[in-house]
Chains A and B, each alone.
Chain A
């Protein structure tokens, strides 16, 4: 049974995500703050979907619901036809801050997921492989405070990838990096996604980043977030930032966000 599941996972690396009529709100000092308004979205297995919207619109809230960290007020979220009831290592999140555990070395940080699932002893090689994937094998014994911002975020990525996730949930993971590191890591992300085939959900407020990385860009409205547009980016990888088709899409998206005057 377990073996069969392993085989099935190997055949179809990515999972489908089905979000249907999701509403969510927070209680702030007794007042209800609505953050998601009837959001419905189907993500196909292996797709790279970017969620784009103004800051504070509820993008990250949607990701927390997909990760299973919070439960929606109403509506359903499903991963491969199974309802999402809580966090699961098949849907791993990379947050804006690397949030590495400062008391663990790089290796031990990456090993966290396997250790939590109780399979580390038999699968130590997976940790080495994940570190190799992000090019940090030489830093495996370093502590987080010795790393640069880009390296720390790479470790966070390795910590996610070591679990062989079906869905990789990225919450502005490159938001705090300098622009050069950022461009380099965008290319790495695309390469990893193409190699591994997991479904990727990326929250960002950077239009260019969304267009360079994603198959589909979902544009969200101001709070409470509704889906304003669902744009297919049908360009081959690696993409060029100067591609005129992307520039057209960019103008269109900025218009949707009410920023056409700045273009």
Chain B
């Protein structure tokens, strides 16, 4: 009891004596972030653009609105609960972004220190999102459809193959050499063959994405199943488990941590195949959009599409990790994405 009161008393005393200084220290990063965004807005209006961009004023207004919101939320953080603390945690990043955007605006649109048209200003990219939205959205949908189809097929086949060769030496005898022979070849190397053997470029790309996903998923599922301690099987067998129970309720759950590593690696590999397949064969999707934008020297469109692509890929990986955290809740200390 006495230890608690000892440690509590001085802390309370300090808080009371320097309450104002503490308050200032707490809101300072938020105010700085608001100032940086206001500076960004001012940078948009400081002089005429060197080029012809239509969204400069809109961007300036948006920057001022963000600055105002950041200011209000960070000053009233205590009253706003979760929103307030979330913003407070991100204030340093908001500050850095505001500074970055201000410099970018000045270096591109206002003084052209960065060579145009290779480095378009922020308003040019905003313009893509507002004016070329339908085409961009179509590309996003096409990419997601292609990626999802190929990934799901590849992951499913890889998982079943991995479990089979990890479990049955007879299946392993036949599949293992094929896997060793074909697996390490980059899936993109199959591109020319796939595009003339498959009826459509879409099915060819699905096949390639499935191939890129399937290899790591197979290998890691297999190693996961193969590394299940035999003691687990002994325990289950003495309790009356039959072979199917051993596969479904012992081998697969025990192998799941490995399977998720395979799914993660497969996702990375399949993104690469997706973009290349879209650039070369499929006439849709973000990869194709990038290629098309480059053909027209529409550099702002390229940056805009790249940004969307990075959001999608990062989102896919976040989704995978969230799923893993739910499924593998029994594990200690899993890596947080």
A93 at the interface (CB under 8 A from B): yes
- Report the minimal beta-carbon distance from B221 to chain A, rounded to whole angstroms: 16
Q: Is the beta-carbon distance between B245 and A103 smaller than 8 angstroms?
A: no
The 9 nearest A-B residue pairs measured at CB: A113-B239, A89-B240, A116-B241, A87-B237, A117-B240, A87-B238, A103-B253, A99-B231, A143-B330
Which residues in chain B, 37-77, are within 8 Å of chain A measured between CB atoms? none
**Cβ of A10: which chain B residues have Cβ within 8 Å of it?**
none
Is there an interface contact between A92 and B254, defined as CB atoms closer than 8 Å?
no
* Set B234, B240, B253: member contacting A93, Cβ < 8 A: B234
* Max chain B C-beta neighbours (<10 A), residue from A87, A92, A97, A159: A87
Known interface pairs A99-B231, A103-B253; A145-B330 also in contact (CB < 8 Å): yes
For the complex, give the distance between the alpha carbons of A28 and B246 in Å. Answer: 27
Interchain residue pairs with CB less than 8 A apart (24): A67-B238, A68-B238, A69-B234, A69-B238, A89-B238, A89-B240, A91-B238, A92-B238, A93-B234, A99-B231, A101-B253, A103-B253, A103-B254, A103-B256, A103-B328, A104-B253, A105-B330, A112-B241, A113-B239, A115-B249, A116-B239, A144-B330, A159-B239, A163-B240
Interface string of B225-248 (1 = CB under 8 A from A): 000010110111111111001000
Q: Would you call A102 an interface residue if the criterion is a C-beta within 8 Å of the partner chain's C-beta atoms?
A: yes
Q: A88-B240, A113-B240, A116-B242 in contact; A99/B235 too (CB < 8 A)?
A: yes
Residue of A nearest to B252 (CB): A103
Q: Is the CB of B240 within 8 A of A87?
A: yes
Task: Please measure, in the bound complex, the distance between the C-alpha atom of A177 and the C-alpha atom of B253, giving whole angstroms.
Answer: 28
Beta-carbon contact of A101 and B250 below 8 Å: yes
Residues of A69-115 contacting chain B, CB below 8 A: 69, 86-89, 91-93, 95, 97, 99, 101-105, 112-113, 115
Q: Which A residues form the contact surface with B (CB < 8 A)?
A: 67-69, 86-89, 91-93, 95, 97, 99, 101-105, 112-113, 115-117, 143-145, 159, 163, 169
Within 8 A of A (CB), among B148-199: none
The interface residues of chain B lying within 8 Å CB-to-CB of A143 are 329-330
Interface flag for B331 (CB, 8 Å): yes
Q: Which residues of B contact A112 (CB under 8 A)?
A: 235-236, 239, 241
**A259: min CB distance to chain B, Å:** 31
A95 to B231, CA, bound (A): 9
For residue B25, CB closer than 8 A to chain A, the reply is no
Q: Which residues of A contact B242 (CB under 8 A)?
A: 116
Query: Which A residues are CB-close (under 8 A) to B234?
Result: 69, 93, 95, 99
Known: A115-B249, A145-B332. A101 touches B240 (CB 8 A): no
Chain A residues with Cβ below 8 Å from B330 are 102-105, 143-145
Which residues of the other chain, B, contact A116 by a CB distance below 8 angstroms?
236, 239-242, 245, 249
For the A-B complex with A92-B239, A116-B236, A117-B239 known, give 5 more contacts whose Cβ atoms are closer than 8 Å: A101-B253, A105-B330, A113-B240, A116-B240, A116-B242
Q: Which residue of A lies closest to B256 (CB)?
A: A103
Q: How far, in whole Å, are A86 and B254 apart by their CA atoms in the complex? A: 24
Residues of chain A within 8 A (CB-CB) of B236 are: 112, 116
A110 to B256, CA, bound (A): 21
Query: How far, in angstroms, from A69 to B237 measured CA to CA in the complex?
Result: 8
| A115 cross-chain contacts in B, Cβ below 8 A | 245, 249
For the complex, what is the distance from the CA of A43 to the CA of B60, rounded to whole Å?
90
Given the complex, which residues of B lie within 8 Å of A87, measured CB to CB? 237-238, 240
Closest to A88 in B: B240
Distance in angstroms between the alpha carbons of A103 and B332 in the assembled complex: 11
When chains A and B are docked, how far (Å) is the Cα of A145 from the Cα of B331? 8
Please indicate the chain B residues that have their CB under 8 angstroms from the CB of A144 in the complex.
330
Interface-centre pick from B237, B245, B332 (highest chain A CB count, 10 A): B237
Residues in chain B near residue A99, CB distance under 8 A: 229, 231-232, 234-235
Q: Which residues of B contact A169 (CB under 8 A)?
A: 238
Which residues of A are found within 8 Å of B238, using beta-carbon distances?
A: 67-69, 87-89, 91-93, 169
- Report Cα–Cα, A163/B241, bound state, in Å: 12
User: Per-residue CB proximity of B118-160 to A under 8 Å, as 1/0?
Assistant: 0000000000000000000000000000000000000000000
Specify which of B231, B234, B235, B237 lies most central, judged by the most chain A CB atoms within 10 Å of its CB.
B235
Closest to B333 in A: A145
How far is A116 from B234 in the complex, measured between Cα atoms in Å? Answer: 13
Give A68 Cβ to nearest chain B Cβ, in Å.
8
Give chain B residues whose Cβ lies under 8 Å from the Cβ of A105: 330
Cβ–Cβ < 8 Å partners of A95 in chain B: 231, 234-235
Q: Count chain A CB atoms within 10 A of each CB in B238, B241, B253 and give the residue with the most.
A: B238
- Distance, CA A256 to CA B177, complexed state (A): 56
Contacts of B331 in A (CB 8 A): 102
A223 to chain B, nearest CB (A): 22
Q: Within residues 204 to 230 of chain B, which ones have a CB less than 8 A from any CB in chain A?
A: 229
A93: nearest chain-B partner, CB-CB: B238
- B332 proximity list for chain A (CB < 8 A): 145
Interface centre among A93, A95, A102, A169 (most CB of B within 10 A): A102
B250's nearest neighbour on chain A, judged by CB, is: A101
The smallest beta-carbon distance between A152 and chain B, in angstroms, is: 13
